[in-house]
Amino acid sequence: MSDDTALIDMCDALIHTRQHTGPKHLEAPGPDEAELEALFAAAAAAPDHHQLRPWRFLVLGEAARQRLSEVFVEALRQRDPQARPDQLEDARIKAFRGPVLILAIVDLRADDPEVPAFERVFSLGCAVQNLLLAARARGFGSGLSSGRALHTPLMHQAFGLAEGEQPVCFISLGTPRRSRPIRPRPAVAEFVQRI
> Binding site, residues?
49, 144-146
Q: How many CB atoms lie within 10 A of CB 84?
A: 9
CA angle 86, 89, 93 (to 5 degrees): 140
In angstroms, the CA 2 to CA 93 distance is: 50
- Judge contact between 130 and 42, C-beta under 8 A: yes
User: Under a CB-based contact definition with an 8 Å cutoff, are residues 127 and 46 in contact?
Assistant: yes
Closest CA to 150 of 84, 56, 68: 68
Residue 151 half-sphere exposure toward CB, CA atoms < 13 A? 5
**What residues are designated binding site for FMN?**
49, 144-146
User: One-letter amino acid identity for 29?
Assistant: P
Q: What is the rounded CA–CA span in Å between residue 121 and residue 105?
A: 9
